[in-house]
Amino acid sequence: MVPTYQHAMTNIEPPRQSTSPHYGKVFLTFARNSLVRDMTFRANFIIESISSLSWNLMNFGFYILIFSYTDQIEGWTQHQFFVFLATFFFINSLVQTFFMPNFEEFSELIRTGGLDFALLKPIDTQFLVSLNRIEWSDLGTLLFGVLLMIYALPNVDPGSAGLHIGLVQVVLYPIYILCGVAVMYSFMLSLSATSVWLGRNQSLYNFWFYITNFARYPMEIYGGNAGGIALRQFFTLVIPILVVVNVPARLAAKPLEAQNWSLVIFGLSATILSLLASRWIFKRSLLSYRSASS
């Protein structure tokens, strides 16, 4: 039997000796149920994995074609840009694996009353609706990003770029990968929470896809005229999508100049504010929620 949302919730027993549930065990239960589901339909799992890998290869091939006509894109050499692209693959893979399938179904939980099951459990509702389902096939993108990073990073010319990978970059890079994931998660959670007020919000999901496309490119390309500068400021200061990939990618592929450090500090602040804002929006939406049976 393929585990469903209600089935997964039913398998989670309330703690007997502690009022605080063990979030790690709950997450492992979700991970196991999702893996069982994927392995039940193995052909579908393989097709989805191949589809994800094909999309990554097409993106990689497109940029190889671009760099056959130019040596750099706004100061990013070919291998520097491939480090940027690998960073995007890391963040995108984690978001699509752990959060995307859950927020896609959030409006259906509201419509069918499935959200009632989450609200009745002795565990944080946001945690349940965020991690109930894991899409294991999307981890292929993470593997592709690792291979691309292994290829690109050693080929970044330290002589011309002034790049020296040290302990600071090694420590900060994975931290800011998680910060990028957190910003994307916050934006996705905020949009999904509006389902409580709007019902079906597929158009807002499409809006998320269009907006996050801006994160796929270095922020330097948004310049040269007033429109580009306005876009850069809006998607950095208001909706901090541009800091998602740009900050960790700079840590790995660019010299750590003064302006990069200011962006690093801003990236951490933007992550904290994004998480707090999305948490507030989600809590407000639950206050307006009415049970499907009411």
95: confidence class by pLDDT, cuts 50, 70, 90: very high
10: confidence class by pLDDT, cuts 50, 70, 90: very low
Q: Is 246 exposed, middle or buried (0-12, 13-18, 19+ CB in 10 A)?
A: buried
User: Does 249 or 104 have the greater pLDDT score?
Assistant: 249
Q: What mean pLDDT comes out for the span 27-51?
A: 88
Quote the pLDDT of residue 253: 85
15: which DSSP letter?
A: P
Quote the pLDDT of residue 216: 86
Phi, psi (5° rounding) for residue 267? -60, -40
Segment 181-224, tens digit of pLDDT: 999 999 989 988 888 887 666 666 677 777 778 888 888 888 77
Per-residue CA distances from 23 to 20, 44, 122, 160, 182 (Å): 9, 30, 11, 47, 18
261: confidence class by pLDDT, cuts 50, 70, 90: confident
